[in-house]
A and B are shown apart, each in its own frame.
Chain A
Amino acid sequence: MTFQELLLVCGMAAVTFLVRWPVLTLVSRIPLPPIVLDGMKFIPSAVLAAILAPAMFLPDGTLDLHPTNAYWVAGLASALINWYSRNLLTTIVAGMAFFLIWRWLW
């Protein structure tokens, strides 16, 4: 590991720890208003949707709605598989298989 790499890892480790831990410590000391606490239940699904939409529809940075874009086709298929199977592991395995086959077909 070069000195430059050491600095890089230390810097990244520091900033990442500083967005995770201080809030965990401070918020547990300062009570939050009920409306904020109530809104927080939407964070998991909102974050997931915000990560997923660009990953599915903008795989190369531009909008791609062609059926050749396996990310959105297989993503939609995975969503349907999950809706009906209600099982996470089934969804991951079947969705991944669908993606690889679809990509190979086109």
Chain B
Amino acid sequence: MRRQEFWAGIRATFPLLVGTTPFGLIFGALAVNSGLSASAAAAMSAFVFAGSSQFIAAKLFGSDASLWIIVLTTLVVNLRHSLYSATLAPHMKHLPQRWLVPLGFWLTDESFLVVDKRYRSDDRSPFKHWFFLGSATAMYANWQLWTWVGILAGQRLPNPASWGLDFALVVTFIGMLVPDLRSRPFAASALSAALTALLLAGLPNRLGLMVATLTGVATGMLVEKRLQPPKELR
């Protein structure tokens, strides 16, 4: 059972690896092109393990921003992970710290999305954290591998941002969002989050992302309440 969950986690994450692979590659290349040493870029992937904040940090480092600013920006950009933690936590109450510490460290957008779906599925498997572990292992190993490839490639090829590979992450996220849009409350939630994010895109440190997410959640709840009197819980 444990092994099955672990492999199911890897399998469910596989399509997302296709989308994050180019992202890791560009991060490695961008990091060495913006003046980070190869070892610092690799250490960032190994110990921070948060793609979009690593990207921004590499860019800021290249523009000589102070360490404080970079660390603070990292904090704000990654704040959404606390929402993910809060969402998953009720399912993980029974787990000891030897599970919570590593799984907390390995939480990413991608693993959150597949693991949340797994926890919401109806069967009462007691080993869903093994699914999380499988998903996290796949994401982590893949991220390290492609960071290194990117570092090596970036030392030879300039201007990695212009390769167009950044669309890979966009298309991956589209593929994960669209199935939800068949439900009206979810579609309303996504639409309001998207509009809010566009309106607030000028805010520093991607704060607009947090506000837009919360707006989307509120809209989804309101529309759901309007559509159906409170009987069904998903």
- A13 touching B167 by the CB < 8 A rule? no
- 20 example contacts (A-B, Cβ-Cβ < 8 A) are as follows A5-B37, A12-B50, A12-B54, A20-B84, A24-B92, A24-B103, A27-B89, A43-B213, A45-B186, A46-B212, A53-B197, A75-B171, A78-B171, A79-B174, A88-B172, A89-B15, A93-B18, A95-B174, A96-B168, A99-B164
State whether the Cβ of B67 lies closer than 8 Å to any Cβ in chain A.
yes
Question: What distance in Å separates the Cβ of A57 from its nearest Cβ neighbour in chain B?
Answer: 6
State whether the Cβ of B3 lies closer than 8 Å to any Cβ in chain A.
no
- Chief secondary structure at chain A's binding surface: helix
- Chief secondary structure at chain B's binding surface: helix
Binds A, one of B138-146, B147-155, B188-196: B188-196
State whether the Cβ of B185 lies closer than 8 Å to any Cβ in chain A.
yes
In-complex Cβ contact of B85 among A11, A24, A50 (8 A):
A24
Proximity string of chain B (85-100) to chain A, C-beta cutoff 8 Å, 1 when within and 0 when not: 1111110110101001
Q: Which residues of A contact B (CB under 8 A)?
A: 1-2, 4-13, 15-29, 32, 35, 37-58, 61, 63, 70-71, 74-75, 78-79, 82-83, 86, 88-89, 91-93, 95-96, 99-100, 103
Q: Which residues of B contact A (CB under 8 A)?
A: 14-16, 18-19, 36-37, 39-40, 43-44, 47-50, 53-54, 57, 61, 67, 70-72, 74-75, 78-90, 92-93, 95, 97, 100-101, 103-105, 107, 109, 112-113, 116, 120, 164, 167-181, 185-186, 189-191, 193-198, 201, 208-209, 212-218, 220-221, 233-234
In-complex Cβ contact of A44 among B14, B16, B112 (8 A):
B112
- Chain B residues with CB below 8 A from A54, complex form: 197-198, 201, 208
Question: What distance in Å separates the Cβ of B160 from its nearest Cβ neighbour in chain A?
Answer: 15
- Chain B residues with CB below 8 A from A91, complex form: 171, 174-175, 178
In-complex Cβ contact of A50 among B47, B82, B193 (8 A):
B193
